[in-house]
Amino acid sequence: MGTFMGHFLVGFFSICFSLWWTVQTWIRYFRSRMKDGPKFKCTVTFPCSCLCGRLKHWPIEGFLKLLAAGTGVFAEIITGFEDGKFVMGNGQHCTMYFFYGMAGIIDMLMHFKVPLPKGMDYWATILAVTVEGLLLGFHLHHREELEVVLHTLLLYVIFVPVLAVIAEMYFKTSPLALFVRSFTWILQGTWFVQLGFILYNPIPGAKTWDLKAEHSEKMIVSMIFSWHIAGVFLLMLIIGIIVKACIRCRESECNHDAIAMQSLLLKDSNGHSVLHMYDSELESEVEYQRTRTSGRSETDEL
């Protein structure tokens, strides 16, 4: 991970998964507020209902976690050798990816109803995040001052999801814990990418940061981190607005289709109202019965 691509890859995976959680959480939240809607429930993973056929019922998210972790391990091993020796930092990164891959395997096993203890998927996620924070904490020794500040801020972001996931376990019907989990994972991803640009800027001719860090540069870094927090928060709100608009549009289309279907059901092949025809036929039948009764009365009088 000691390259720009190493930081960008971790950030990219974090952002992708957390954006998926954010969209699905908003969908689940708005549907729970509908009349006769399903009750909100927290889950570690979400089904991919946008896929077709049997794929929508497969544990795609768990599989993608395993694939992302495998990609990370492969990249760290390929780039981890210097002068014939494996760099210890890459070994730490491989360990981090391994635990996230293990969490993906647990997700798939839980999906296929393997008899594991209840909540094992939550504990696998907590374990992966805790190990990531532990490795990062010991990753800061003998680093330049600015690099320590950058990774310390990242360390704060990493441990907040642990509390969020624990809250999910005990408050299954609260959307707030899911939103906090998504928020902190997006923030973790964007800050990983920011670290890549500060420490290993790939843009030719870009100004490099002084890693020995004067006080002014620490202030700049903390300000950038604060803007990341604001940006992620606004992004989640915008996603919520878009999801709400899509759900409302879909509801209006369904209501329009229902009205059109009712209109079709109330018309025959000639375009006449079936209900009107039924009423006319009923009136004719009543009139016929009256006429028949009157005829019988006259005959009896004669």
Residue 275 pLDDT greater than 50, yes or no:
no
Q: What is the pLDDT of residue 145?
A: 81
CA distance 49 to 57: 8
CA distance 97 to 216: 35
User: pLDDT band for position 263 (50/70/90)?
Assistant: low
Of 92, 93, 97, 117, the C-alpha closest to 106 is 117
Q: What is the pLDDT of residue 206?
A: 78
List for the chain the helix, strand, coil content (%; round to 5). 75, 0, 25
**95 to 74, 79, 107, 272: CA distances (angstroms):** 12, 15, 19, 73
Percent residues over pLDDT 70 in the chain: 80
Pick the more confident residue, 42 or 270.
42
pTM, two decimals, is 0.80
pLDDT of 35-77, one tens digit each?
A: 888 889 889 988 887 776 677 778 889 999 999 999 989 988 8
Residue 157 pLDDT greater than 80, yes or no:
yes
Region of poorest pLDDT, from 82-91, 103-112, 130-139, 143-152:
82-91
Helical (H) or strand (E) element with 85: strand 85-86
pLDDT of 184-211, one tens digit each?
A: 999 999 999 999 898 888 888 777 787 7
Q: What is the pLDDT of residue 176?
A: 92
Phi, psi dihedral angles at 115 (to 5 degrees): -70, 75
